[in-house]
Amino acid sequence: MDIMAAKIIINPKIMLGKPTIAGTRITVELILNLIEHGQTIPEIMDDYDLKEKQVRTAIRYAKRGIEEKFPAQSAVTHEIFAR
């Protein structure tokens, strides 16, 4: 598979600068909306002519955005239950 096919790009001239799957006009937001409304990864792949790696890359991109905004807690178990 082409290396570009599994990248997320941000270009102000493509989809108003929303993160998109490289080589397409398919946004990460669209992928998340489709999943929210019950579509499976195989259905998204068929409907939008994508590879599984492209869909999963979009999901990972969104996940990383959340993790950056809300970092995972580094508390040890005994700290959580110390009360």
Per-residue pLDDT of the chain (83 residues; tens, 9 = 90+): 444 447 999 999 999 999 999 999 999 999 999 999 999 999 999 999 999 999 999 999 999 999 888 887 765 555 566 55
CATH number at residue 8: 1.10.10.10
Enclosing domain of residue 71: 3-80
Based on the structure, what is the number of domains in the chain?
1
Q: What local confidence, expressed as pLDDT, does residue 2 receive?
A: 46
Give CA separation, 13 vs 10, 17, 37, 70, in Å. Answer: 9, 6, 28, 29
Q: What local confidence, expressed as pLDDT, does residue 3 receive?
A: 44
Q: What local confidence, expressed as pLDDT, does residue 71 receive?
A: 82
Length of the chain: 83
Nearest to 62 by CA among 6, 8, 25, 5: 8
Nearest to 23 by CA among 44, 39, 1: 1
Query: pTM score, two decimals?
Result: 0.79
